[in-house]
Amino acid sequence: MRIIISPAKKMNVDTDTLAPEGMPAFLEEAEQLMEWMRRLSFEEAKALWKCNDRIAEQNYRRFQEMDLRRNLTPAVIAYEGIQYQYMAPAVFGGAEAAYIQEHLRILSGFYGVLKPFDGVVPYRLEMQAKASEAGDLYKFWGEKLYREVTDRDRGTPVCGSGEKDSMQQKGERRKGALILNLASKEYSRCIERYLQPEDVFLTVTFGEVIGGKVKQKGTFAKMARGEMVRYLAEHQMEEPDGIKGFDRLGYYFSESLSTEKEYVFLKQEG
């Protein structure tokens, strides 16, 4: 089982708490994006980020001074968003840390896919950013992120329907991937659009019933996603059925609202 989550906009440098355990898989692609970002004017970068002057100045300077191989912070503690605060990876024990390194993948507009302890530097580049010279980032990354998350051979094309039929006739049907989706739609679509029929893609929704419909509130959903990752690591979860017992932050599993493709957790009233 692979768990996918989104990155956070706010990042920090921490070279003391934990040491990186590897480099990002798509470092060359990140270098391409870095060089493209460096060629932007300040006003172009600010328009891309859609932020105020202070944040734009900080991130513009970061790209101009960026070194992707030095002063690195493990990705899972470099991101400072609410999801990561509730995950609290810095206090994981050895078993929990090993679990997330094996099972958790962080999707990124800049780095593509990160293992939790890959060494990174602070950046700002969201997946939905309209990167003109580099092209739409969804197109830039293409099926690479799906391949990395599912451990699919990068040299083997994702099959079309005719190729699947041929494989099945030869008895070479590929075992499907099991992906637990805790990412936002902005990031999960990078994986979802390349799913194969044999894959299982299970989205977890944390919401409330409002007007007869399940609605997610951003902050609460981010908190719950972080707690869910911690829950999975603490219980060393390997199968999705096990997550139905999640009951933190006042959430409970709704059997009636859940399907094979979506597990719905509702927040208890009061």
pLDDT tens-digit profile of 96-118? 999 999 999 999 999 999 999 99
Give pLDDT, residue 167: 41
Please report which residue ranges of 170-217 form alpha helices under DSSP H. 185-192
Contacts of 255 (CB under 8 A, 6+ apart): none
Cα-Cα-Cα-Cα torsion 19, 24, 29, 32, nearest 10 degrees, comes to 0
Whether 55 maps to a domain, the answer reads: no
Whether 104 maps to a domain, the answer reads: yes
**pLDDT confidence tier of residue 213, bands split at 50, 70 and 90:** confident
Residue count of the chain: 270
- For residue 22, what is the DSSP state? B
Q: State the average pLDDT over residues 38-42.
A: 94
**pLDDT confidence tier of residue 123, bands split at 50, 70 and 90:** very high
How many domains does the chain fold into?
1
Whether 119 maps to a domain, the answer reads: yes
> Domain range spanning residue 196?
2-22+72-267
In angstroms, rounded to a whole number, what is the distance separating the alpha carbons of residues 193 and 162? 18
In angstroms, rounded to a whole number, what is the distance separating the alpha carbons of residues 80 and 76? 9
Name the pTM for this structure: 0.91
Average pLDDT of the chain is 90
Residue 264, SS3 per DSSP = strand
Span between the terminal Cα atoms of the chain, in Å: 34
Q: pLDDT by residue (tens digit) across 52-78?
A: 999 999 999 999 999 999 999 999 999
Q: pLDDT by residue (tens digit) across 136-191?
A: 899 999 999 999 999 986 555 555 434 444 444 443 445 899 999 999 999 999 99
Whether 116 maps to a domain, the answer reads: yes
Percentage, residues of the chain above pLDDT 70: 90
